[in-house]
């Protein structure tokens, strides 16, 4: 087990840069996710770490060993794919034993470690089955057992849960988290599912356009995004623009969003990102609240979603628990939206 270091890793196809200088370090036993929309370069980074793609520049280290140009079989990694990628012509046992046999382990040791790995993914007794006889979730657990059995230095996951249906995905998330913390293997996890990334990882790297925009703890990514992309990609926050005045955002039309953004000079064009759960709906005027009218109401079980139109024409989406008083509001009614300045993320408008 060891840490993983990327130094200014670049991948170019012709003139297009798919990954533009990725530099980060994953500490020993740490779980880091790369999160981003498709085509952002996250899978390219993973494939370069795996040795399936050659970087156009920069270097990759596993522990203190430089592996930038080494083929995958010389890197001591474990790979888990979205497609499971099991060997269909081998039994579950042989699949898991594959890596151990390549290391020329003793047969008794192979049997012991295959059984141990299968036990870890709760598939003891499935050794003699073929992959096609297993469900998708079971196949993915075999793939994990196969990846961990040879005790790799680094585990790489390429959207491993995306092919599973929703309920199974939640179950597998817990399983994966448990497995990773038990083994404490350095892990790089690639996904486009933000809930998955936030709940599993020690740190999350949000990627866009070949650049890691922010690499931080999940809470920091959620509450303190560094730029508009991260702020709008994580969750679906309301986004309103205005001009800075004394640390608050002036939307015009007598509407001011109080914030704690003293670092932005008066007159700066800025945007506020407000999480849907940070807004409190009141039916009577409150000091500092924004006045608006309910434009739409939609019920989704545990929550009622209200779209509130402000005087400026801007619309804010608010989630209200369906048991709350505000859930009974109907379109056309006047409401006041209260929010704590602490919950408002204000960022200077990007040009």
| 8 A C-beta contact, residue 33 and residue 23 | no
**Least CB distance to another protein at residue 72 (A):** 4
**H or E element in which residue 147 lies:** helix 136-148
**C-beta of 9 vs 50, nearer to another protein:** 50
| 8 A C-beta contact, residue 273 and residue 261 | no
DSSP state of 265: P
**Least CB distance to another protein at residue 98 (A):** 5
- Site of interaction with another protein (CB under 8 A): 50-52, 71-73, 75-79, 81, 83, 85-90, 98-99, 102-103, 130, 132, 143, 146-147, 150, 156
**Least CB distance to another protein at residue 114 (A):** 13
**Least CB distance to another protein at residue 81 (A):** 5
**C-beta of 91 vs 322, nearer to another protein:** 91
Q: How far apart are CA 153 and CA 160, in angstroms?
A: 19
Q: Which of 260, 265, 228 has the alpha carbon at shortest distance from 347?
A: 228
Q: Which of 224, 225, 227, 270 has the alpha carbon at shortest distance from 245?
A: 270
- CA 241 to the chain's CA centroid: 27
DSSP state of 350: P
**Least CB distance to another protein at residue 134 (A):** 13
Could you tell me which residues come within 8 angstroms of residue 239 by beta carbon, excluding any fewer than 6 positions away? 228, 231, 232, 271, 272, 273
């Amino acid at each position: 087990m060891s840490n993983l270091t990327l130094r200014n890793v670049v991948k170019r196809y012709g003139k297009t840069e798919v990954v533009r200088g990725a530099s980060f370090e994953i500490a020993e036993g740490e779980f880091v996710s790369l999160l981003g929309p498709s085509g952002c370069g996250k899978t390219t980074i993973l494939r370069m770490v795996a040795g399936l793609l050659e970087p156009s520049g920069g270097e990759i280290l596993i522990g203190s060993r430089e592996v930038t140009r080494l083929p995958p079989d010389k890197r001591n990694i474990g790979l888990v794919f979205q497609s499971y990628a099991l060997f269909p012509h081998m039994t579950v046992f042989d699949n898991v034993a594959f890596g151990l046999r390549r290391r020329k382990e003793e047969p008794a040791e192979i049997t012991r470690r295959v059984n141990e790995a299968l036990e870890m993914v709760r598939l003891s007794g499935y050794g003699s089955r073929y992959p096609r006889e297993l469900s998708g979730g079971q196949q993915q657990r075999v793939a994990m057992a196969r990846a961990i059995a040879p005790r790799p230095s680094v585990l790489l996951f390429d959207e491993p849960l995306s092919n599973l249906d929703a309920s199974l995905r939640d179950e597998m998330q817990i399983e994966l988290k448990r497995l990773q913390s038990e083994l404490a293997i350095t892990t790089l996890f690639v996904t486009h599912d933000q809930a998955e990334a936030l709940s599993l990882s020690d740190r999350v790297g949000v990627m866009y356009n070949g650049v890691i925009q922010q690499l931080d703890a999940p809470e920091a990514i959620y509450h303190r995004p560094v730029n508009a992309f991260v702020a709008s990609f994580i969750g679906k926050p309301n986004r309103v623009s205005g001009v800075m005045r004394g640390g608050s955002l002036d939307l015009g039309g007598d509407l001011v969003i109080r914030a704690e953004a003293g670092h932005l000079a008066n007159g700066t064009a800025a945007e506020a990102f407000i999480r849907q759960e940070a807004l409190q709906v009141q039916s009577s005027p409150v000091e500092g609240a924004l006045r608006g009218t309910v434009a739409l109401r939609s019920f989704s079980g545990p929550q009622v979603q209200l779209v509130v139109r402000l005087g400026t024409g801007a619309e804010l989406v608010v989630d209200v628990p369906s048991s709350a008083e505000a859930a009974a509001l109907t379109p056309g009614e006047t409401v006041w939206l209260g929010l704590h300045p602490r919950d408002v993320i204000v960022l200077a408008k990007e040009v």
